[in-house]
Amino acid sequence: MAGTFCLRGLRPDDAGAIHAQVNDWNVIRMLSRLPFPYPRDLAERWIASTVQQAEARTAYHFAIENQAGAVIGCIGLTLSQTDGQYRGSLGYWIGREYWRQGIATLASDRLCSWAFANLPVDTIEASVAQDNVASVAVLNKLGFRQTGAATQVFTARGGNVSVLLFSASRESFDAAHESKPPADADASAEQTEEPRRLVLVVAAVLIDTNNRILLARRPEGKTLAGLWEFPGGKMEPGEAPETSLIRELREELGIDASRACLAPFTFVSHSYEKFDLLMPIYLCRQWQGHPEGREGQKLAWVEACDLDQYPMPPADIPVIPFLRDLL
């Protein structure tokens, strides 16, 4: 078992531990860019570069630290943009002493969950040496799908090596984690072969005095994490839409809205893979209290003309043109 560990930023005094762990042929042969033997000063320079990359928001690298405070590996995500689409490139290594304990799977899962929820990434990719069976298994568990094959120079091996290319979208990553139905019905899917069902969700378009609209970003741990949506949630059995919405606004944002302040606006019908979603949407311009993300979600007040700059779940996107016409 992996036990307890954490991901943390790299520090200059990690160079010794990193050098000792990675300067092992069995580890370094699976890493494309590192030479063998691996010099200590290269570890120091690399750590310094990770700080610069994080400040520039081009890459994020972390030490994997166990319960005893020892560095047992490293993991990172490098960002790139092509045709307006943001991608992350995943890479990691684990010290040989800590192999076969599930650490790579847990660390990669943690980093990908964080990235989809907090970074503007649409897809996370990875390339793996064809003979790296363990890493192929890790990626498959996390919802990555093989997209092709190529050759890549591996410095330590002194030449080209056959690699497998993998990719995970937010949707495929979420699907791999749906071993049990999530609490959020607007993005859940049943795991058994059952008849399609109708899920009722209600949402509010909160509009402030400057005609800005409130969006909430789905936090890490929820399906479709990182996407922006109109506040709301699942309707309980026998609950009226207005009653559900008032309850959800209080629980999610800490505000009180009365029925008289909820104006029916439109509705959305969307077919997800295994269920159908019906979502009535209300306008609200008056409420008591100051909205705050009580469930870990980030909030943003957005002009109607800028809504398409915020990635949304498929069910929310059709509402954008109606709001532009209104405001």
What secondary structure does DSSP assign to 179-217, as a single string? SS--S-GGG---SS----EEEEEEEEEEB-TTS-EEEEE
For residue 187, the model assigns a pLDDT of 42
Sorting pLDDT into bands at 50, 70 and 90, what band is 3? low
**Side-chain-side CA neighbours of residue 152 (13 Å):** 19
Domain boundaries, the chain: 5-175, 185-326
Full-model pTM: 0.77
For residue 194, the model assigns a pLDDT of 58
Q: Do domains 5-175 and 185-326 have the same CATH topology?
A: no
**Top-level class of domain 5-175:** alpha beta
For residue 186, the model assigns a pLDDT of 45
Whether 38 contacts 15, CB under 8 Å: no
Please give the Cα distance from 37 to 22 (Å, whole number): 10
Q: State whether residue 88 is helix, strand or coil.
A: strand
For residue 184, the model assigns a pLDDT of 44
Sign of CA dihedral 113, 66, 38, 50: positive
The mean predicted confidence, pLDDT, of the chain is 90
Sorting pLDDT into bands at 50, 70 and 90, what band is 2? low
Please give the Cα distance from 134 to 145 (Å, whole number): 15
CATH topology of domain 185-326: Nucleoside Triphosphate Pyrophosphohydrolase (3.90.79)
Average pLDDT over residues 114-121: 91
> How would you label 18-28 residue by residue, b for 16+ Cβ within 10 Å and e otherwise?
bbebbbeeebb
Query: How is residue 159 written in tokens?
Result: 């030449």
Tens of pLDDT along 10-55? 999 999 999 999 999 999 999 999 999 999 999 999 999 999 999 9
Query: How is residue 227 written in tokens?
Result: 């996407």
Sorting pLDDT into bands at 50, 70 and 90, what band is 122? confident
256 in the Ramachandran plot: left (φ > 0), alpha (ψ -120 to 50) or beta? beta
Tens of pLDDT along 143-195? 999 999 999 999 999 999 999 999 999 888 988 887 544 334 444 434 445 56
* C-alpha dist (Å) from residue 261 to 56, 72, 264: 44, 56, 10
For residue 190, the model assigns a pLDDT of 40
**Side-chain-side CA neighbours of residue 3 (13 Å):** 12
Helices (H) and strands (E) in the chain, counts: 8, 14
For residue 83, the model assigns a pLDDT of 75
